Amino acid sequence: MEVLNRTGRRVYQHTGGVNLFRFLLIYAATLAVAGALGAGLFWLLTVGFYFVLVMPLLFAMGVGGLMLWTVYAGQCRSRLLGGAAGLIAGFVLYIGSYYTGMVYTYNEYFGIDVSKRLDMLPAYILRRINSDRYSSTHSPRRKDDEPRRRDGMDNFMGWFTFVAEFGLTLFITAGAGWVGAGRAFCPKCQKWMKQDLTAFPPGSGQGLVEALNNSRFAEALVGTAFPMLQNQPYTALQADYCEGQKYSAGTCPVYVSVKDVRSGGGATKSGNFDFAIGKSLAKRWELTVQEVAQLATRIPSLAPVAERQGVSVQAVATKMAVSAATAPGGATVPARPAVSMAITPATQPAGKLMSKGKILMGTLIELSPILFIVGGAILGITGGDRLEKAARDADNTVGIVLASGGGALVLWGFVAFFLDLGNRYRRGVLRTEVAARPDAVVSANDSEAMIVSIVPMANLPKMMVEEAIDVGLIKVDRGRREILFEGDKERYRIPAEAVQMAIVGEQVTQAGHATTTRYYLFLRANGPNGTWENAILPRRKSAVVFGKGKLRTHVAGLLDQMKQIGAVGADVK
């Protein structure tokens, strides 16, 4: 049955189909792995390495990934089936840990095989809830022969932990099956459709929907793509399409979804759209061939789809450009001169700071405070132990030396951390290198220059030894109205007219209880061979040391200087 929206446009409809044999075969393997992981949870509990909520979360994410694989490989388009299968997998994972505990406990202590007595499992779970004791990783540890008595907090934690962990596990595994089965599927090619995104300024969603309803889609696509930055608002348009390799005529449909995102950005397309916080305004509306060609000017991967149906994307792009340059009354708007940034190799000496040896040296210096702190702590503990054992001896010089030396190393480790030795080393290498260049566009001793890293946006969420493609000095020349960069590898001259967009971005990284916030300047400009866009990060420590306000001030100050030279004022945020 064909489904239409209120304006008569076709909408994607889930068929609920499934390749049952393949799905059941892979699902059986998923359940087996979930059961094994459940046994692993109990093993972690027995060795004292079970962290409440954390371990079930990690294991549930693993089973959730397996559920996505099961749904995709089994071509399951039924969200009900996918969600139910995920629910069962989550049940096997979490309750499986209790089942393993029951079998182990009765066999180890009573010599009874209860592997087939599932009727005993509820009583065992209840006994565990009412008998397990909980302790904080921050509290002093007791000796094994001095067990802590169970108290009222343990009673609360027992039920809270069970409900929270079980619920979280089921939510993740069932959610993975539900979301995976909700992806668009091409019935002609019998495969899942690909997904690609483009973004617009915040609040553009309603305008895009109205443009689709009123055959003005091309007008809404004019302009450059807006960046999808972490924790920032934007409007996202997602295209679901099939490459249509089996059909030379390219008759597979293309669908678009529109979402006003309040807080998004992430390393995956799902994080930028499906799981981003916001309001969905259109859900998989089918496009005409002309609209596909128009959208291909923003999402180039759609170009072959339109070309196979006999529509030239280049001709459509030219027509869109002419229409954009013409005012509603027919008067032609003067075209803005195409000004591009200049990128040239840096003169010698160059490439020293970004060499493998210097990167390794800088990393080792940056990690040295950790080595000092850990090594000092080990020495201090060793010395303290010797002092305790030799408390009645007249000579305990060795213990005093070890304890004192360990304390000194720990103190120096903290001092070195706050002195930012790694970046001090890098700044010294860079300034020495730039000072030796007679034609440097930024002086090594310029007080207005800032040392920054040029980082591709794709590298920001990754854990890398060196995420930057270049490191150098940046300065805004107010007289020439240019942004100047003298790097280790390259040299940039960016005229104000070449800047398309500049936005202060935020990258939040969480590891355990620690959260690190980095601020950067997203810069997009006309490059020699197309659009150039990267993140510009000041070479400073994280906000943990310097404070979020100060870090943001450095980046915002650079943005303000760009505004002062008129760098595409209307587009600079």
State the DSSP string of 421-453: HHHHHHHHHHHHHHHT-TT-SS-TT-TT-EEEE
On whether residue 484 sits in a domain, the answer given is: yes
pLDDT, position 96: 93
What confidence category does residue 91 fall into, taking pLDDT thresholds of 50, 70 and 90?
A: very high
On whether residue 272 sits in a domain, the answer given is: yes
What are the phi and psi torsion angles at 145 (to 5°)? -90, 10
d(C-alpha 520, C-alpha 535), whole Å: 6
Q: Are residues 172 and 38 part of one domain?
A: yes
Q: Is residue 22 predicted with pLDDT exceeding 60?
A: yes
Lowest average pLDDT, out of 197-211, 241-255, 409-423, goes to 241-255
| Residues ≥6 apart with Cβ < 8 Å to 555 | 504, 519, 520, 521, 536, 538
pLDDT, position 337: 55
What confidence category does residue 145 fall into, taking pLDDT thresholds of 50, 70 and 90?
A: very low
pLDDT, position 6: 63
On whether residue 173 sits in a domain, the answer given is: yes
pLDDT, position 88: 96
What confidence tens digit (pLDDT) does each residue in 345-383 have? 988 888 888 788 887 887 788 788 888 888 888 877 777
Task: Output b/e per residue, 135-168; b: 16+ Cβ within 10 A.
Answer: eeeeeeeeeeeeeeeeeeebeebbeebbeebbeb
Q: Are residues 194 and 177 part of one domain?
A: no
What confidence tens digit (pLDDT) does each residue in 510-527 have? 555 556 777 888 888 888
d(C-alpha 272, C-alpha 278), whole Å: 11
Under 8 Å between Cβ of 193 and 301? no
Please give the residue that has the higher pLDDT: either 320 or 57: 57
- Mean pLDDT along residues 403-423: 80
Q: Is residue 166 predicted with pLDDT exceeding 80?
A: yes
pLDDT, position 147: 52
Q: What is the 3-state secondary structure (H, E, C) of 373-385?
A: HHHHHHHHHHHHH
**Domain count within the chain:** 3
The secondary element (H helix, E strand) that includes residue 198 is strand 194-200
Under 8 Å between Cβ of 504 and 552? yes
> How far from each other are the two terminal CA atoms of the chain, in whole angstroms?
46
CATH code (residue 519) = 2.30.29.30
Q: Is residue 437 predicted with pLDDT exceeding 80?
A: yes
On whether residue 402 sits in a domain, the answer given is: no
Q: Is residue 336 predicted with pLDDT exceeding 90?
A: no
Question: What percentage of the chain carries pLDDT values higher than 70?
Answer: 83
- Mean pLDDT along residues 149-163: 72
d(C-alpha 385, C-alpha 369), whole Å: 24
Could you say which of 335, 364, 394 is where a domain stops? 335
Would residue 284 be called left, alpha or beta, if left means φ above 0 and alpha means ψ between -120 and 50 degrees? left
pLDDT, position 249: 45
- Mean pLDDT along residues 538-560: 66
State the DSSP string of 36-96: HHHHHHHHHHHTT---TTHHHHHHHHHHHHHHHHHHHHTT---HHHHHHHHHHHHHHHHHH
Q: Are residues 209 and 74 part of one domain?
A: no
**Residue 298, domain extent:** 187-335
- Mean pLDDT along residues 195-203: 88
What confidence category does residue 570 fall into, taking pLDDT thresholds of 50, 70 and 90?
A: very low
Of 278, 273, 274, the residue nearest 263 (C-alpha) = 278
Under 8 Å between Cβ of 276 and 236? yes
d(C-alpha 269, C-alpha 239), whole Å: 11
| Residues ≥6 apart with Cβ < 8 Å to 511 | none
Q: Are residues 251 and 159 part of one domain?
A: no
What confidence category does residue 248 fall into, taking pLDDT thresholds of 50, 70 and 90?
A: very low
- Mean pLDDT along residues 173-198: 89
- Mean pLDDT along residues 237-260: 77
Written as six digits, the tokens of 195 are: 């997904």
pLDDT, position 64: 94
Lowest average pLDDT, out of 66-75, 295-304, 311-320, goes to 311-320
Q: Are residues 331 and 220 part of one domain?
A: yes
What confidence category does residue 81 fall into, taking pLDDT thresholds of 50, 70 and 90?
A: very high
Torsion of CA 476, 477, 481, 484, to 10 degrees: -60
Question: What percentage of the chain carries pLDDT values higher than 90?
Answer: 18
pLDDT, position 78: 92
Tell me how far CA of residue 433 lies from CA of 343, 446, 452, 471, in angstroms: 19, 14, 15, 12
On whether residue 209 sits in a domain, the answer given is: yes
Could you say which of 310, 335, 360 is where a domain stops? 335
Number of neighbouring beta carbons within 10 Å of residue 300: 10
Written as six digits, the tokens of 287 are: 């496009």
d(C-alpha 422, C-alpha 119), whole Å: 61
Lowest average pLDDT, out of 54-68, 227-241, 261-275, goes to 261-275
Q: Is residue 331 predicted with pLDDT exceeding 70?
A: no
Could you say which of 306, 335, 364 is where a domain stops? 335
pLDDT, position 485: 92
**HSE-CB of 181 using CA atoms within 13 angstroms:** 29
- Mean pLDDT along residues 168-183: 93
pLDDT, position 276: 81
Q: Is residue 169 predicted with pLDDT exceeding 90?
A: yes
pLDDT, position 312: 83
Q: Are residues 191 and 174 part of one domain?
A: no
Q: Is residue 407 predicted with pLDDT exceeding 90?
A: no
Q: Are residues 200 and 131 part of one domain?
A: no
- Mean pLDDT along residues 224-242: 84
Q: Is residue 183 predicted with pLDDT exceeding 80?
A: yes
Written as six digits, the tokens of 537 are: 């990060």
Under 8 Å between Cβ of 182 and 207? no
Of 41, 129, 162, the residue nearest 93 (C-alpha) = 41
Q: Are residues 197 and 76 part of one domain?
A: no
Judged by DSSP in three states, 277 sits in strand
Q: Are residues 166 and 32 part of one domain?
A: yes
Q: Are residues 229 and 173 part of one domain?
A: no
pLDDT, position 154: 63
d(C-alpha 264, C-alpha 276), whole Å: 5
Would you say how long the chain is, in residues?
A: 573
Q: Which of 24-28, 312-316, 514-518, 565-569 is most confident?
A: 24-28
pLDDT, position 21: 93
What confidence category does residue 149 fall into, taking pLDDT thresholds of 50, 70 and 90?
A: low
pLDDT, position 394: 52
pLDDT, position 140: 46
Under 8 Å between Cβ of 472 and 486? yes
pLDDT, position 219: 84
Q: Are residues 327 and 191 part of one domain?
A: yes
On whether residue 376 sits in a domain, the answer given is: no
- Mean pLDDT along residues 81-98: 95
On whether residue 532 sits in a domain, the answer given is: yes
pLDDT, position 541: 46
- Mean pLDDT along residues 408-420: 80
Please give the residue that has the higher pLDDT: either 164 or 317: 164
Q: Are residues 263 and 249 part of one domain?
A: yes
On whether residue 431 sits in a domain, the answer given is: no
Lowest average pLDDT, out of 195-204, 269-278, 506-515, goes to 506-515
d(C-alpha 506, C-alpha 518), whole Å: 6
Please give the residue that has the higher pLDDT: either 6 or 238: 238
Mean pLDDT of the chain: 81
Q: Is residue 200 predicted with pLDDT exceeding 60?
A: yes
